[in-house]
């Protein structure tokens, strides 16, 4: 309190307390969830949108300050993206404006796309934690059963600070090309992956037609409790990259969400 003992209309301490109390509550609540998604790119956010819309408790951890992953930059920083007919249905549902370029090629503004996906996902109930990185997986009885988390700033500064753990029924790796969670699981969990080799196969060169088809086949449970989603799926199962067509990312996110909704409803 200041010396005159008058409480200001806007007290700096009240502002600080409001933020700390509210964030703490949100973080504690996120320690147990139905689904934990790593990565706030288009695939992870769409996955989170459909899960949350279906009433599943879903939390998403994003390393960076901003969500959106590789979508903001379209192709070579031209902030336009292309999606195909099947994925347009998702944008129509979310209310993202699309423009027909030629049959089966629809354009969308990448800024409108990211901001709308994010807004719809959050309003559906998805809890997004930015500035937090998944640095390990939590393994119980040969099953991936959650994540080990730390502040991105700790990771960046190389500080020796121990992380915290959260538990979820399922973990979704939506970290894009690096497929970080699956890499960690392969290296440290002792669980063999559900790939041809039992290991990460690595992504193949650009071929949109083939890569976009493969991504749906490759979006699946790669180890007990752990799903691949978005670009991570092709990076893990040896699929092609596809450049700045984003339909596969949206469709992969939706497909993984629908499969998880069924499994959770069945109590699997
Ligand atoms: C927390 C993490 C961690 C971690 C990474 O790269 P993304 O946009 O991924 P997708 O799969 O939604 O979309 C892929 C697309 O952007 C793309 O790259 C395409 C289509 N490429 C084709 C081509 O030919 O190049 O988003 C992944 C997000 C990012 O925001 C990362 O910061 C985040 O995951 N992330 N968050 N903990 N350990 N690792």
pLDDT at 5: 64
* DSSP H or E run through 133: strand 132-140
- Tell me the C-alpha distance between 110 and 246, whole Å: 10
Q: What is the mean pLDDT of residues 41-56?
A: 98
145 domain residue, yes or no? yes
Does the structure show a pLDDT above 90 at 238?
Answer: yes
193 domain residue, yes or no? yes
pLDDT at 31: 98
Read off the pLDDT of residues 127-136 as tens digits, 9 standing for 90 and up.
999 999 999 9
Q: Helix 110-124 vs helix 85-94: angle between axes, to the nearest 10 degrees?
A: 60
Establish whether residue 43 lines the binding site of ligand 1, counting it when its CB lies within 6 angstroms of any ligand atom. Answer: yes
Establish whether residue 90 lines the binding site of ligand 1, counting it when its CB lies within 6 angstroms of any ligand atom. Answer: no
210 domain residue, yes or no? yes
pLDDT at 149: 98
Q: Pick from 141, 144, 238, 230: which is nearest to 185 by CA?
A: 144
pLDDT at 2: 54
Read off the pLDDT of residues 179-207 as tens digits, 9 standing for 90 and up.
999 999 999 998 999 999 999 999 999 99
14 domain residue, yes or no? no
Tokens of 227: 């799903």
Residue with tokens 């700390």: 20
Establish whether residue 63 lines the binding site of ligand 1, counting it when its CB lies within 6 angstroms of any ligand atom. Answer: yes
171 domain residue, yes or no? yes
pLDDT at 19: 98
- Tell me the C-alpha distance between 197 and 164, whole Å: 32
Q: Tell me, in angstroms, the distance from the centre of ligand 1 to residue 15's CA.
A: 34
Q: What is the mean pLDDT of the chain?
A: 97
Read off the pLDDT of residues 209-232 as tens digits, 9 standing for 90 and up.
999 999 999 999 999 999 999 999
94 domain residue, yes or no? yes
End-to-end CA gap in the chain = 54
Q: Does pTM top 0.95 for this prediction?
A: yes
Domain that holds residue 238: 35-266
Split at pLDDT 50, 70, 90, the class of 6 is: confident
User: Which atom of ligand 1 approaches the CA of 43 most closely?
Assistant: 12
Does the structure show a pLDDT above 60 at 71?
Answer: yes
7 domain residue, yes or no? no
> Residue 171's domain is classified under what CATH number?
3.50.50.60
User: What is the domain count for the chain?
Assistant: 1
- Tell me which residue has its CA closest to atom 15 in ligand 1: 70
253 domain residue, yes or no? yes
- Tell me the C-alpha distance between 219 and 244, whole Å: 19
- For a ligand 1 pocket test, name from 49, 67, 69, 257 the mutation site with the most ligand atoms within 8 angstroms of its C-beta: 69
Does the structure show a pLDDT above 60 at 237?
Answer: yes
pLDDT at 153: 98
Establish whether residue 211 lines the binding site of ligand 1, counting it when its CB lies within 6 angstroms of any ligand atom. Answer: no
* DSSP H or E run through 21: helix 12-29
- Tell me the C-alpha distance between 40 and 22, whole Å: 22
């Amino acid at each position: 309190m200041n010396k005159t003992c008058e409480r200001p209309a806007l007290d700096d301490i009240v502002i600080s307390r409001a933020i700390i109390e509210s964030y703490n509550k949100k973080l504690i609540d996120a320690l147990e969830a139905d689904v934990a998604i790593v990565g706030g790119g288009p695939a992870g956010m769409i996955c989170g949108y459909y899960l949350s819309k279906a009433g599943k408790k879903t939390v998403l951890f994003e390393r960076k300050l901003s969500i959106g992953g590789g979508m903001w930059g379209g192709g070579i920083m031209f902030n336009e993206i292309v999606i195909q007919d099947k994925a347009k249905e998702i944008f129509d549902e979310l209310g993202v404006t699309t423009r027909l370029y030629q049959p089966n090629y629809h354009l969308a503004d990448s800024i409108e796309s990211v901001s709308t996906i994010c807004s719809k996902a959050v309003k559906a109930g998805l809890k997004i934690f930015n500035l937090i990185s998944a640095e390990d997986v939590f393994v119980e009885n040969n099953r991936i059963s959650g994540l080990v988390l730390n502040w991105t700033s700790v990771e960046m500064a190389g500080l020796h600070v121990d992380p915290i753990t959260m538990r979820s029924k399922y973990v979704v790796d939506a970290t894009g090309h690096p497929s970080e969670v699956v890499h960690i699981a392969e290296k440290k969990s002792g669980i063999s992956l559900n790939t041809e080799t039992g290991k990460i196969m690595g992504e193949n060169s650009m071929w949109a037609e083939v890569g976009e088809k493969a991504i749906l086949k490759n979006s699946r449970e790669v180890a007990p409790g752990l799903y691949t989603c978005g670009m991570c799926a092709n990076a893990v199962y040896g699929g092609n990259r596809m450049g700045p067509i984003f339909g596969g990312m949206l469709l992969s996110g939706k497909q993984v969400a629908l499969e998880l909704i069924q499994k959770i409803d069945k109590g699997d």
